[in-house]
Amino acid sequence: MLYLWEKAGVRHWQRTALPAAAALLLLLFFAPDPAAAQSSGTEKPVPILSGNAGYFTNVAGGQNELNTQINPVLLVPLGDRWLVESRAEFEGNFQRPPGGGPYGGPVDKHLDYAQVDYIANPYVTITAGRFLTPFGIFNERLYPIWIRALQPDPLILPIATASSDGAMLRGGFPVNAAANMNYAVYVSATSIGVSGVESERQVGGRLGIFLPGPRLEVGGSFQKVLQDDRKNAFGFHMGWQPAKVPLNLRSEYARSVEGSGYWIEGAYRLSQASFWQKAMRRTEVVARAQQFFTGEISSNEDLPGANTREADFGINYFLRDGLKGAASYGRQFSSQGNYNLWTFGIAYRFLLPLGRVGAQ
C-alpha cells in the first residue's frame, strides 16, 4: 500500500508540479533585473583557488586505513555575470598488507564538477557543464571535509547523487515576508567510458522553502533516469538552526529501487558553556542516527548489501581559522556483521587569490 501511494504521488507530481514549475521558471527568467541600471561597482573580481585537504585514520571492524585527500576548487569570474568553477578530488586510501609491510593502496582521481554559470537575473542562474546533482542537501552543501560535522558518509549518500553532465537552472525568490523558495532543475546527458566523468541520462530537481523567522528549511528532490530501467528516486530534507541555541539540526530521506533510508544529525557548538570558555567556543559535539533498507535491485556497490543501522558520535575542535581536528566513534549493525568505526584526523581549508584586487 505504501509503495502504491508513493507511486501515485510521483505520477501526480509529474502531471501537476512539473508544468507549474516550468511556467514559474519562464516568468523568473524574463523578470527584469532590479540592479541592471545600477553601476557594477569599482572592484575587479580575480580568480580564486580554494578547497580543503585532510589526513584521517579510519578503523572499521579492527581494520586500519589511512586516508589522505586534497580537494582544490577553482573559481574564475568573467565580468559581473559569468563564472567558471570546478572542483577535483584526489584521495588515497592506504592499508597494510595482510602479511605485514608498508601501507599501500590506490589513489582515486575524480572531477566533481566543471561548470559555467551565467547569472541571468537575481532569480535565475543558468549552469552548463559537469555539476553536482541537486538531490538532497548533503551532496552539495555538506560534502567537503572542512564543512561536514562527521567524516563518515551517510549510508544513503550514493542514492541519486552522482555528478551530472548537462544543463541546470537554479535560484531563489521571496514568496512573502515570511518565506523564501529555492529551486534547481536539471537535465543530464549520458557520459560513460571516461574514468571519473561518468553520468547517466536523467532529469530531476529540488525545491525548498526557507522560513527566516524560525530559521527552518524543508524541501524535496526528484530524479528520473531516462535509460535502462528508467528508475525514479525521490527524497526529502530538513535543516534547522534555532536562533537562541548554537545548534545545527539536519536530516535527509531518500528512496529508489536500490534502497531507502534516512539520517538525522545534530551539531552543537559549546560556545554557551560557562567554564573553559576559550576552549569551549572552539569545540563542537556531533551525533548522527541513520538507517538503510535494501531495495529491489542492488546495482550500486557503494550502498550497504543488507539492512543497516548506525549511530555515530563525534567532536570537532577548531584550532584556528581554517584548521580543525576531528574524532568520531560509531557502531554499525546489520546481518552482515556488527562492528565499531573510529575516525581521527585533521582538516585544513585554504583560500588563495590568483591575482591582484584593485579598481577597474
Distance CA 197, CA 31 (A): 35
pLDDT over threshold 90, residue 26 = no
**Within 10 Å of residue 317's Cβ, how many Cβ atoms?**
14
Among the listed ranges 105-109, 291-295, 315-319, which one has the minimum average pLDDT value? Answer: 105-109
User: Which backbone phi and psi does 295 adopt, to 5 degrees?
Assistant: -105, -160
Query: How confident is the model at residue 332, as a pLDDT?
Result: 97
Contacts with 243 (C-beta within 8 Å, 6 or more apart), sequence order: 215
pLDDT over threshold 60, residue 29 = no
**Within 10 Å of residue 304's Cβ, how many Cβ atoms?**
20
pLDDT over threshold 50, residue 308 = yes
Distance, C-alpha 294 to centroid of its chain: 22
Query: How confident is the model at residue 316, as a pLDDT?
Result: 98
Query: How confident is the model at residue 17, as a pLDDT?
Result: 46
**Within 10 Å of residue 263's Cβ, how many Cβ atoms?**
24
pLDDT over threshold 60, residue 14 = no
Distance CA 92, CA 110 (A): 12
Reference 249, options 239, 259, 257; nearest CA is: 239
pLDDT over threshold 80, residue 5 = no
Among the listed ranges 157-161, 203-207, 229-233, 271-275, which one has the minimum average pLDDT value? Answer: 229-233
Tell me the domain boundaries of the chain. Answer: 9-30+43-359
Burial of 287 (0-12, 13-18, 19+ CB in 10 A): middle
Q: Which one has a higher pLDDT value, 79 or 230?
A: 79
CATH architecture of 9-30+43-359: Beta Barrel (2.40)
Q: Quick one: average pLDDT of 106-122?
A: 94
pLDDT over threshold 90, residue 45 = no
**Nine-digit cell at 26?**
519562464
Are residues 143 and 151 in contact, defined by beta-carbon separation less than 8 angstroms?
no
Reference 57, options 45, 66, 69; nearest CA is: 66
- Report pLDDT digits (tens) over 243-294: 999 999 999 999 999 999 999 999 999 999 889 999 999 999 999 999 999 9
Query: How confident is the model at residue 356, as a pLDDT?
Result: 78
Reference 221, options 238, 229, 239, 233; nearest CA is: 233
Are residues 233 and 223 in contact, defined by beta-carbon separation less than 8 angstroms?
yes
Query: How confident is the model at residue 347, as a pLDDT?
Result: 98
Contacts with 157 (C-beta within 8 Å, 6 or more apart), sequence order: 138, 139
Bridge partners (DSSP) of residue 76 are 84
Query: How confident is the model at residue 84, as a pLDDT?
Result: 98
Distance CA 330, CA 341 (A): 5
Among the listed ranges 101-115, 141-155, 259-273, which one has the minimum average pLDDT value? Answer: 101-115
pLDDT tier, 198 (very low <50, low <70, confident <90, very high otherwise): low
**Within 10 Å of residue 118's Cβ, how many Cβ atoms?**
13
pLDDT tier, 6 (very low <50, low <70, confident <90, very high otherwise): very low
Mean of pLDDT over the chain: 87
pLDDT tier, 1 (very low <50, low <70, confident <90, very high otherwise): very low
Distance CA 131, CA 188 (A): 9
Among the listed ranges 69-73, 149-153, 265-269, 294-298, which one has the minimum average pLDDT value? Answer: 294-298
pLDDT tier, 33 (very low <50, low <70, confident <90, very high otherwise): low
Contacts with 340 (C-beta within 8 Å, 6 or more apart), sequence order: 59, 60, 61, 62, 329, 330, 331, 332
**Within 10 Å of residue 172's Cβ, how many Cβ atoms?**
17
DSSP 194: S
End-to-end CA distance of the chain: 64
